Chains A and B, each alone.
Chain A
């Protein structure tokens, strides 16, 4: 209680000092203006505060408007998200079908290619075996002939050759 009285007394002293300073023009001199200009200055400050308050009010209204807009947008966004989700699901399904179809086609092509390659390799291998067998057989026959062909055999060959030539006449 005593403390409140001291605060009140201090305030009264402060008001009295300010009143004295304003009255004598000392405050105006301290603020760098004469007593004549203080009134308009305060008026100007009042106008500025009013303008600031009006601006704040406008900003508040704008903000509320924006809030409404965003609220509306958010509401619509849910719908858009839902639609987008649906579209994505449908497109995903279509893409899945396309990929599966392509994969099937590629798989068929690979199978066909593998079948043809295997067929070709089999053919080549068969041909190689036939070639090698033929070459080995002929080599053996050649060696045997070289080893066992006698002059007598050669004479027979020459006779056959002569007969063959004669038949051509």
Chain B
């Protein structure tokens, strides 16, 4: 809960600057790229959060990565600040919350789509359009295949669940049969 609060402060600050200079989407992409790199590299993660390594040493590593990834100076500054304040462990939360803020600012909705079978690009397009109609926003879909659904789709968007899978229907049928 505290982690969430701290992360939200950093995410909001970055978003505020991003909206002012109109680069919030770029910052979002760069933050996602850096977070993905840190999450994927266990050694890097432990170095950046290790208090036995001095802050200047860690900031030097950040500077190196910032240059290699060609991150914008503002994001570099944010990462330096996170090292200085020993807040690097909140990076994932900051990235997640920033994504939410950026989506809201851009009028986007993220959809987690589970399907029992692979979907054709046309079907995905149709789905995106119909969900956009419901949300009134552009949707970004993260598609996952889950054969345990047996058939059909489950979409989760902004706290809503659109469940059209056979597994759920069978479960409802089982409950109805059991009740007699």
Contacts and interface: CB of A to CB of B under 8 A. Distances in A.
Contacts of B119: 158
B166 A145 contact: yes
B153 A138 contact: no
A145 B152 CA distance: 12
Given A131-B178, A165-B131, A165-B133, A158 B173 contact: no
A162 B178 contact: no
A52 interface: no
Contact of B152 (A134, A151, A154, A169): A154
Interface stretch (B61-69, B102-110, B122-130): B122-130
Interface residues of B, number: 29
A121 to B, nearest CB: 17
Contact of B153 (A141, A151, A161): A161
Interface of B is mostly: helix
B45 to A, nearest CB: 40
B19 interface: no
A43 interface: no
Interface string B165-180: 0100011011101111
B134 A168 contact: yes
7 closest Cβ pairs, A-B complex: A134-B177, A161-B164, A169-B133, A165-B130, A138-B174, A134-B178, A154-B117
Interface of A: 127, 130-131, 133-135, 137-138, 141-142, 145-146, 149, 151, 153-155, 157-158, 160-162, 164-166, 168-169
